[in-house]
Amino acid sequence: MGLFDFFKKKQETPEAHEALDKGLEKTKDGFLSKITKAVVGKSTIDDDVLDNLEEVLVTSDVGVTTTLKIVERIQKRVAKDKYVSTDDLNGLLRDEIQSLLAENNSNDFERLEYGDHKPYVIMVVGVNGVGKTTTIGKLAHQLKEAGNKVVLGAADTFRAAAVDQIKLWGERVDVRVVAQPMGSDPASVAFDTVKSAVSNGDDVAIIDTAGRLHNKVGLMNELTKIKNVMQKVIPGAPHEILLVLDASTGQNAIEQCKQFTEATDVNALALTKLDGTAKGGVVIGISDQFKIPVKYIGVGEKIGDLQLFHKKDFVDSLFK
């Protein structure tokens, strides 16, 4: 069974759907109650309703650009169908959000294999406090559960706590950790990790990096250096640059995404802490604005609450 077949099988369980529904509760409650208020006293979807809907989406952290796209689509549907009642608004909104997400990044991650890449190298980036280390630990656990040999690289050497956290996760999920003393060159740790992964026959190497959003040039130089040294061992590494964002920060997450995508070739996103916020709409905005696949979402504190992001499941849960 391929790794993502494993994830898909796990996510098709009632427990996984329940975790998703529970994780989106705060977003859903805020979102749907605002929509209900937006149509009070109205029987048809008119300009006032659309204006109110625009406000609902913006205040749910969907983002202005994406909000305008969604409202424009609904406006066209209303004009085409002539008479659309406010009772239909939820269904229309769900359809348009789903189709908007479907236009971005093509397919969900379901049956993706790592192909010829062994070890498959994932470089994880993101600012401190977004749940980066926890995401790495949970991902390592699920990869190991799927039968992969995993190694972690503690390349955030600017904070002793970061190295210690990675080591703790390594012990907790029983995977190897490559680390050096605090203050060591992060690129050196990354080099040692991928070299160790090759010699040990590991399937996946996950490299943590410093969670500092300093000036863009400094960030770019640092991440480029880490990439370059890994490529000396494995041409084409890292195969995945995973940006971890905290959904509860709303528009700040969008700004962080902008900074990191300008600094390095981010090709996958993880949105964490969805269970603790009413700002889950940011997933829609980020997916639309950056055209980078949202690969994982964090919907709870349990070790298995890191899920593959499925657009339809997400939107269905939001409107359930």
Annotated binding site for GTP: 126-133, 208-212, 272-275
Instruction: Give the separation between CA 110 and CA 301, rounded to whole angstroms.
Output: 23
- Residue 140 is which amino acid? A
Q: How far is CA 271 from CA 23, 130, 193, 209, 286, in A?
A: 12, 9, 25, 17, 10
CA distance 12 to 201: 31
Q: Among residues 44, 70, 76, 73, which one has the least CA distance to residue 55?
A: 70
**Taking Cα atoms as reference points, which of 168, 162, 230, 169 lies closest to residue 196?**
230
Q: How far is CA 295 from CA 76, 131, 237, 245, in A?
A: 31, 15, 19, 12
Annotated binding site: 126-133, 208-212, 272-275
Distance CA 83, CA 215 (A): 52
Q: Which of 35, 34, 48 is nearest to 87 (CA)?
A: 35
Would you say 230 and 121 are in contact if contact means Cβ atoms under 8 Å apart?
yes
d(CA 265, CA 125): 11
